[in-house]
Amino acid sequence: MTDQELDKKMSGVFFNITCAIFVFILYASLLPFNIVANSSELSFLDYVSVLKLSSLNVAQGQWIGHVIFNVLLTFSASLYCSLHKYRMTWVIIYLSIVIFGFSVEFFQMFVSSRGTSLVDIYANLGGMLVGFILWAMFGKFTLNALRHYLLHETLTIDFVKKLYLAFVIIIVLFPFDFYINKLQFQVGFATKEIFALGSDFVSVSSLASVLLLIPLGILYQMSAQRKKVIKKSLLFKYSIILLALELMQFFEISGQSSFISFFCKYIGFIAGLYIGKFLSLKLILHTVVKFRHILLLFLPLFLWAALKLKGFSMNAGISLSDVATVIENTSLLPFYYYVEVGSAEALLSFLFNFIIFLPLGGIYAIYKISKRNDSEQLFFNLFIIGIVIAVLLEITVLLWGLKRPDVTNILVSAIALPLGYYFTIMMNKATQNNAIA
């Protein structure tokens, strides 16, 4: 494949991703599609008046989704533009994003219970700025990673390392509800304690902090030029990074920093470095495949934890009439939950389901590798498997917990399972080809 053909293929990938994000934002913005106003009754001047009169004191949970999706849109669109030599492409794409953002907010005036506000406009523009900054920082790196994948069907360990670091930051800081006014700062400093000692060392949160950072340490040590030497500069660097993340949590409405959480993350990272020092990825995969039966023994425990996370309760006294009432109030529209509870809480729910189903895809891949049948499965088949498992989990928490089924959770889960599968298969192929070891 020539460089010109490769750039054309990459351009098509980012064009399709950008268009898909455009369509999704339009769809999510117009939910629940209960149009209540006639377009002839509203003018552009009415739109401007509504924006002027709108309050700026809006909870972060209501607008953080605007920031996140505009970051993704701008980052993807910028990658597409960077593959074209014409500067006018940048102007056209960015003008399209701005006009699209204002148009979507205008259309929301016709949807009952939605409306529009100046905060949403600021959130859209802020998301564009962050997306452009991320492109400037990681755009070239992302293009090189995609080029490497299209040529070799594997990702470089350097890219995987940075991708996982981004994942860690998202998990730690989500839902990004930072203080944005003086009152929130005053309340935060009055009710929180910076780096609290914590009360429960042996907690699920502490264990999760350790487990979250172990893979990052492994990846960093495997990408080092001298794998048998742990750099002291790296230990110092990550002590600062993890301390900064912990401090940033204090400045979130829903966050709480603690020394226990910091030390658990740091211990997890150091443990990962030592694991990476003595083991290779090939050996780790071989060990996991060899002891896959032990992994399968923990699968019921993993699913039990997932159910508890989703609201499962055996002690809840639930009747069929209660279940019927919940079903009556359930919408089959994807992302309807996003509208009802606010973007922050909804995105957190989607993130939980993604984290639950990503390892399930990896476990299935380990099983296929053990059978020496690690050929790539059709995405559609894995997608259907994900839907079936997700539906069973949603029904379970409906019957034992009265949690309303959500179509979006099912779709997110169905996408996460194939991603976990493909990622594990890809890493296995990389070790066989000595791309990473």
Q: Give the global pTM.
A: 0.74
So what's the pLDDT on residue 129? 94
What's the pLDDT at 27? 82
* Cα angle, residue 285 at apex, residues 280 and 289 outer, rounded to 5°: 150
Q: Please spell the DSSP secondary structure of 163-218, one letter per residue.
A: HHHHHHHHHHHTT--B--SHHHHHHHHHH--TTB--S-SSSHHHHHHHHHHHHHHH
3-state secondary structure 109-134: HHECCCCCCHHHHHHHHHHHHHHHHH
Residue-wise pLDDT tens digits, 53-98:
666 565 555 677 788 889 999 999 999 999 987 888 899 999 999 9
Query: Residues near 260 by Cβ (< 8 Å), separated by ≥ 6?
Result: 197, 198, 201, 206
Amino acid 69 reads F
Q: Where are the domains of the chain?
A: 3-152, 156-279, 280-437
**Window from 103-107, 273-277, 299-303, 430-434 with minimum mean pLDDT:** 430-434
pLDDT of residue 21: 92
